[in-house]
């Protein structure tokens, strides 16, 4: 028997084992003795205290939500504030028949009938003593109405609460964002106990990305309640002695944005009834002065809460009001990239200030028959760089692109910040796209699609084809050109302020890599040409630049939504509105000392110089002190 | 394994139960152990009914799990210890592979990777609660005891590797139990007392090292233990509320389904990790002491079986299973009463949930197998 093999001493092993079991049992009984002693302490000696806490007067720790920080514009005008309002709450444990109560509330039109199921689910999933918010903002009329009916609704009551309010909601919706009801998914990314008692959290824009600053720290009160859950004064019970002391909440920080409310309002008005976006940047700091996307929406609807159908109609609106075109809208930049492209071409020697080209209205690559059309069918005649930019001659750039090549196009546009995120301090921006050989290889699966074709370089030279940029990217790229190569990360938040100490934390400008040219005079040539766009006798946007008190530099662009077949004539009237070209415009001013760079995109606006440029002019007039509000 | 049946000796130590006793014997069932377990489970179901808010559907759920676990126990009791021993290393190796798979491909639930989807969802860490002590016992089976230093080193590796894999999931509670079950085997095999004391002293810097490895939420639990009031809305809330529940129960309790803490939902996790507080509130000190007596009876019966076991493997394994069961009971009751940090160990056989119950019952199946397959040995 292997058990009795020579090296094993069965008898002594068993004795050893029994000794060890005895030892373990002793330790075990001692440990269990400690638990029993603890139980005796809790259940016999401290029983009175705990019984009081639990039976007669129960205590409950009630979270006190912090006050959310306010948001101001650069001149200290309030963009987001907290207003007192009454909300309707239901405490599940005090309601006898949940379904019946909700149905009757719906009959009084205090809640929407379609949301009954949603609230029923909410009331069931949380702790039964925790109030469920049914209506975030009651009107005076509704409060009066409900007050009469209140005895019929045990467990339902209205409670005062601060509700986020955006006084100029539509104008700032896409920059400031909005707060909305705290969802389970939000809580996965937030510190749960910090949000006890908080019903809202930032969902988009500054409200979301600066949530940590705005929120503040939760406080708590020890609330003593009677058997029905009603609060009773704390000092009437000795139970509180054993409780942690109260702690007041710490309010969130106030935030100062670089936005200028006047510009926001003006830009919103300029885009009234249109789809598009406007971004204005201070080229010497990256501060965003205006960021507007149209159509917009009322962010107060999210803060107050809306019915399922109201939300659905926002979501399903074909004009996509919730879509932030300023940072998420990726458009073919069209001719607006020509100034950047000219810098590239001058630097690598693909063109010179003196080179001239005969524009006959189209361009053909050697040994091919495909005609790359100019926007002006009869052609611009003989043009140099100045003329090519100021009159926006496509053929000139088609020709230059052959010498420049896609690799250089990619290299320089990349330096201007196109094709990658700008790093703006709100989330969700589109990266845009500057095509390259490498990108194409990775983007397509078919071998023939992976190759880069010369024709693609030609159309890339006028910002068409695969190329995409957001209004924010265009504004920041042109800001980099305005400063002759000094670039900053665009940002909305300029400072935060502690509401208790008043201490202000400034957010310093973040400088990006400079664009360094071999020949600094190339900046002058391009900027001069952009000035001619606004003020030259042939300038495409001379109407928008006329009679300005300062000098502007600009470049219009028209992004094709619809490819015109080779021999067809483009006729605006016959094309469905949604197929019309997007109108783009980039500009900065004053030319000698740039203080503002603006990008304007109007979807299906047809003409950059006629539709987008005047809007940019209005923004600049306003900011530089020549606007309609000037002197007020 | 069947040939042993005829040679089984009725030692007379178990009370003669006539026909019924012989039937149990024939089915390789240990009567006293089964009786103790059923009493605990019965009491558990009664308490659970109250803790889940008198929800029959959830109770039925638990009853089905319990049925499956008991059937599992009875099936395992039919395999002889020799058979189990032969398969031990393979089971252990498979368990390790599955643990690695969990870390690399497992499903994430509640912020941790614990589940593996192999047709049925399954937690390999649970199986390791048995595989680790089985492996340690297997290794020591043919060796002369007490183990020598080199052997102890190898045993340490056998225990530490799965423990670290489980702690990384992260599942501190299970890692702790797996480590304990393996460590108990070594202690029972005769780990020198002097070495034990040295290790205890060394554990101070060890604890410091462990602190560095801990996830933030685990650190928070330890910190909250020291001062539950530091986080009354978060981690400390459970302990504060559970102490109120237990304390307010007094000597006799508030009566079944009358616990206001539990029923007004002040007490979180009242049907799982904190169910002991519900017993304390509703059945009072007498109730919890009765439950503890039942637990002591089951552990005692297990240790008795271990001492009666004929060979090293069975003896060490039976001892480890019984004492690990005790560790469960201690850790849970101590954590609910606020003596040790909340590490997420359920109250065995009572807490709602199936995974740990199946493992526990499988362990008791092994105990039954060891007891009923033992051969008569000369004393």
Dump pLDDT digits (tens) for A279-322. Answer: 999 999 999 999 999 899 999 988 887 777 888 888 888 888 99
The answer, yes or no, to whether residue A617 has pLDDT greater than 50, is: yes
The confidence score (pLDDT) of residue A588 equals 94
pLDDT in tens, B185-229: 999 998 888 888 888 888 888 888 878 877 776 777 677 666 666
Are A144 and A207 found together in one domain?
yes
**Nearest chain A alpha carbon to B289:** A36
- Give tens-digit pLDDT for A22-70: 999 999 999 999 999 999 999 998 888 888 777 555 566 677 888 999 9
Query: Residue A462 has which token pair?
Result: 């006028």
Give the closest of A8, A25, A38 to B339, CB-based: A38
Percentage above 90 pLDDT, chain A:
34
Tell me if A54 and B261 make a contact (CB, 8 A cut-off).
yes
Q: Do A43 and B285 touch (CB under 8 A)?
A: yes
A-contacting residues of B 267-286, CB under 8 Å? 280-281, 284-285
Mean of pLDDT over chain B: 83
**Residue A143 counted as domain residue:** yes
Q: Please tell me which residue, A128 or A564, carries the higher pLDDT value.
A: A128
- In this complex, do A39 and B299 lie within 8 Å of one another by their Cβ atoms? no
* Interface touch A128/B264, C-beta < 8 Å: yes
Query: pTM of the full predicted structure?
Result: 0.62
Alpha-carbon gap, residue A308 to B307, rounded angstroms: 68
Looking at the predicted structure, is the pLDDT value of residue A604 above 90? Answer: no
The reported pLDDT for the residue numbered B9 is 46
Claim to verify: residue A86 and residue A150 sit in the same structural domain: yes
A125-134, A326-335, B12-21, range with greatest mean pLDDT: A326-335
Greater pLDDT, B234 or A370:
A370
Are A208 and A100 contained in the same domain?
Answer: yes
**In chain B, which residues have their Cβ closer than 8 Å to the Cβ of A13?**
145, 190, 312
CB contact under 8 Å between B231 and A193, yes or no, is yes
**What does the pLDDT read at residue B12?**
45
The rounded Cα A536 to chain-centroid distance in angstroms is: 38
Tokens of A228: 């029905």
pLDDT of B5 higher than 50: no
Mean of pLDDT over chain A: 84
Are residues A39 and A68 located together in one domain of the fold?
no
pLDDT digits (tens, 9 = 90+) for A240-286: 445 556 778 888 999 999 999 999 999 999 999 889 999 999 999 99
Contact present, B246 and A43 (Cβ < 8 Å): yes
The yes-or-no verdict on residue A565 having pLDDT over 50 is: no
Q: Is A125 a residue of the active site?
A: no
Q: Chain A contact for B307, CB < 8 A?
A: yes
At A4 the pLDDT is 45
Please report, for the domain that includes residue A213, its CATH number: 3.90.1310.10
pLDDT greater than 80 at residue A144: yes
Q: Tell me what the mean pLDDT of segment A584-596 comes to.
A: 92
Is residue A320, in this structure, part of any structural domain at all? Answer: no
Dist. CA A428–CA A319, nearest whole Å: 19
Q: CA-CA distance, A511 to A417, in Å (whole number)?
A: 13
Q: Are A8 and A100 contained in the same domain?
A: no
More confident residue, A604 or A235: A604
**A212 plus A84 within the same structural domain:** yes
Averaged over B146-152, what is the pLDDT?
88
Q: How confident is the model at residue B2 (pLDDT cuts 50, 70, 90)?
A: very low
At A73 the pLDDT is 93
Sort out which chain B residues have CB atoms less than 8 A from A50's CB and list them.
243-244, 246-248
Instruction: Select from A562, A533, A413 the least CA-distant residue to A474.
Output: A413
Task: Verify that A115 and A27 share a domain, yes or no.
Answer: no
User: Does A533 reside within a domain?
Assistant: no
Cβ pair A339, A541 in contact under 8 A: no
The angle at the Cα of A363, spanning A362 to A364, to the nearest 5 degrees, equals: 130
Provide, rounded to the nearest whole percent, the portion of chain A with pLDDT above 70: 89
pLDDT the model gives residue A1: 42
Q: Which of A209, A293, A335, A436 is catalytic?
A: A335
pLDDT of A368 reads 81
Please check whether residue B335 is in contact with residue B165, taking contact to mean a CB–CB distance below 8 angstroms: no
- On whether both A245 and A182 belong to a single domain, the answer is yes
Say how many CB pairs under 8 Å bridge A and B.
148
Residue in A38, A44, A193 nearest the CB of B233: A193
Q: Structural domain tally of chain A?
A: 2
What are B127-139's pLDDT values in tens digits?
A: 899 999 999 999 9
Cβ atoms of residues A222 and B244 within 8 Å? no
B248 interfaces chain A, CB cutoff of 8 Å? yes
Helix (H) or strand (E) holding B16: none
Residue B319 touches chain A, beta carbons under 8 Å: yes
Q: Chain A closest CA to B248's CA: distance in Å?
A: 4
Quick check: A129 and B326 CB within 8 A?
no
> Does A106 share its domain with A24?
no
ipTM score here? Answer: 0.87
pLDDT at residue B261, rounded to an integer = 65
Q: Which domain holds residue A162?
A: 61-223+232-257
Residue in A closest to B292 by C-alpha: A32
Q: Select the residue of A34, A40, A128 nearest B285 (Cβ to Cβ).
A: A40
For residue A386, pLDDT beyond 60: yes
For residue A262, give how far its alpha carbon lies from the nearest alpha carbon of chain B (Å): 44
A30 and A90 housed in the same domain: no
Taking CA atoms, A233 is separated from A57, A130, A223, A242, in Å, by: 10, 20, 8, 16
- Inside any domain, residue A437: no
Decide if A199 is inside a domain. Answer: yes
């Amino acid at each position: 028997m292997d058990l009795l093999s020579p090296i094993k001493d069965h008898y002594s092993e068993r004795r050893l084992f029994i000794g060890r079991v005895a030892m373990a049992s002793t330790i075990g009984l001692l440990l269990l003795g400690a638990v029993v002693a603890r139980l005796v302490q809790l259940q016999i000696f401290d029983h009175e205290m705990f019984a009081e806490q639990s039976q007669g007067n129960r205590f409950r720790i009630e979270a006190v939500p912090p006050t959310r920080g306010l948001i101001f514009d650069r001149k200290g005008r309030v963009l987001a504030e907290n207003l007192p309002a009454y909300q309707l709450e239901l405490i599940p444990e005090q309601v006898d028949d949940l379904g019946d109560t909700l149905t009757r509330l719906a009959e009084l039109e205090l809640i929407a009938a379609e949301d009954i199921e949603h609230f029923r689910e909410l009331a069931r999933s949380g702790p039964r003593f925790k109030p469920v918010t049914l209506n975030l903002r009651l009107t005076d009329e509704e409060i009066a109405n409900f007050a009469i009916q209140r005895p019929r609704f045990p467990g339902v009551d209205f409670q005062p609460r601060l509700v986020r309010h955006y006084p100029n909601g539509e104008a700032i919706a896409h920059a400031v964002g909005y707060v909305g009801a705290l969802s389970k998914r939000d809580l996965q990314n937030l510190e749960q106990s910090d949000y006890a008692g908080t019903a809202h959290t930032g969902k988009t824009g500054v409200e979301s990305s600066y949530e940590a600053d705005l929120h503040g720290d939760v406080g708590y009160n020890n609330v003593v309640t009677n058997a029905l859950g009603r609060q009773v004064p704390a000092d009437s019970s000795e139970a509180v002695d054993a409780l942690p002391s109260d702690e007041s909440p710490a309010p969130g920080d106030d935030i100062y944005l670089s936005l200028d409310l006047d510009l926001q309002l003006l830009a919103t008005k300029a885009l009234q009834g249109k789809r598009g976006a406007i971004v204005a940047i201070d080229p010497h700091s990256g501060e965003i002065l205006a960021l507007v996307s149209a159509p917009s929406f009322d962010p107060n609807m999210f803060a107050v809460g809306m019915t399922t159908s109201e939300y659905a109609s926002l979501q399903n609106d074909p004009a996509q009001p919730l879509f932030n075109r300023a940072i998420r809208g990726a458009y073919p930049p069209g001719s607006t990239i020509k100034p950047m492209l000219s810098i590239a071409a001058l630097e690598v020697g693909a063109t010179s200030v003196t080179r001239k080209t005969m524009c006959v209205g189209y361009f053909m690559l050697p040994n091919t028959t495909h005609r790359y059309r100019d926007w002006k069918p009869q052609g611009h005649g003989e043009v140099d760089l100045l003329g090519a930019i100021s009159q926006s001659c496509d053929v000139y750039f088609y020709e230059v692109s052959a010498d420049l090549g896609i690799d250089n196009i990619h290299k320089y546009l990349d330096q201007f910040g196109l094709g990658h995120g700008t790093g703006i301090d709100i989330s969700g921006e589109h990266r845009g796209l500057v095509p390259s050989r490498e990108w194409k290889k990775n983007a397509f699966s078919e071998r023939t699609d992976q190759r880069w074709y010369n024709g693609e370089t030609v159309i890339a030279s006028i910002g068409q084809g695969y190329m995409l940029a957001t209004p924010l990217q265009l504004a920041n790229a042109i800001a980099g050109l305005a400063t002759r190569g000094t670039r900053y990360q665009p940002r909305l938040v300029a400072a935060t302020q502690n509401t208790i100490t008043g201490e202000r934390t400034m957010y310093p400008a973040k400088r990006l890599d400079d664009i360094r040219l071999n020949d600094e005079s190339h900046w002058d040539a391009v900027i001069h040409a952009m000035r001619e766009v606004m003020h030259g006798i042939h300038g495409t946007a001379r109407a928008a630049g006329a009679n300005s008190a300062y000098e502007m530099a600009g470049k219009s662009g028209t992004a094709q939504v619809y490819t015109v077949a080779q021999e067809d004539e483009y006729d605006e009237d016959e094309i469905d509105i949604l197929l019309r070209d997007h109108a783009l415009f980039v500009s900065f001013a004053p030319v000698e000392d740039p203080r503002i760079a603006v990008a304007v995109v109007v979807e299906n606006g047809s003409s950059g110089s006629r539709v987008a440029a005047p809007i940019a002019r209005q923004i600049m007039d306003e900011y530089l002190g020549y606007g309609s509000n000037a002197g007020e | 394994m069947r040939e042993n049946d005829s040679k089984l000796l009725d030692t007379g130590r178990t009370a003669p139960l006539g026909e019924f006793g012989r039937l149990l014997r024939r089915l390789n069932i240990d009567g006293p152990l089964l009786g103790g377990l059923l009493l605990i489970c019965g009491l558990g179901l009664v308490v659970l009914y109250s803790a889940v808010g008198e929800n029959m559907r959830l109770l039925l759920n638990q009853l089905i799990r319990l049925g499956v676990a008991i059937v599992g126990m009875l099936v395992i009791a039919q395999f002889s210890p020799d058979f189990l021993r032969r398969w031990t290393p393979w089971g252990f190796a498979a368990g390790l592979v599955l643990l690695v798979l969990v870390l690399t491909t497992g499903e994430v639930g509640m912020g941790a990777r614990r589940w593996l989807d192999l047709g049925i969802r399954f937690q390999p860490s649970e199986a390791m609660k048995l595989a680790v002590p089985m492996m340690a016992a297997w290794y020591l089976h043919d060796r002369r005891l007490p183990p020598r230093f080199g052997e102890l080193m190898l045993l340490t590796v056998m225990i530490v590797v799965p423990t670290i894999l489980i702690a990384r999931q992260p599942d501190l509670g299970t890692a702790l139990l797996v480590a304990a079950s393996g460590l108990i085997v070594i202690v029972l095999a005769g780990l020198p007392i002097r070495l034990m004391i040295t290790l205890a002293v060394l554990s101070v810097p060890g604890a410091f090292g462990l602190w560095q490895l801990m996830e933030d939420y685990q650190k928070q639990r330890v910190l909250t233990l020291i001062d539950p009031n530091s986080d009354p809305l978060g981690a400390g809330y459970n302990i504060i509320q559970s102490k109120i529940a237990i304390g307010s129960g007094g000597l006799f309790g508030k009566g079944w389904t009358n616990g206001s803490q539990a029923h007004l939902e002040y007490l979180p996790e009242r049907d799982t990790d904190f169910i002991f507080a519900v017993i304390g509130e509703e059945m009072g000190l007498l109730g919890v002491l009765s439950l503890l007596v039942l637990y002591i009876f089951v552990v005692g019966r297990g240790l008795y079986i271990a001492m009666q076991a004929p060979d090293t493997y069975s003896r060490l394994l039976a001892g480890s299973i019984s004492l690990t069961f005790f560790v469960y009971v201690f850790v849970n009751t101590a954590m609910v009463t606020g003596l040790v940090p909340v590490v997420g160990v359920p109250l065995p056989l009572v807490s709602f949930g199936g995974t740990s119950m199946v493992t526990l019952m499988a362990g008791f199946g092994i105990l039954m197998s060891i007891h009923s397959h033992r051969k008569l040995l000369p004393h």
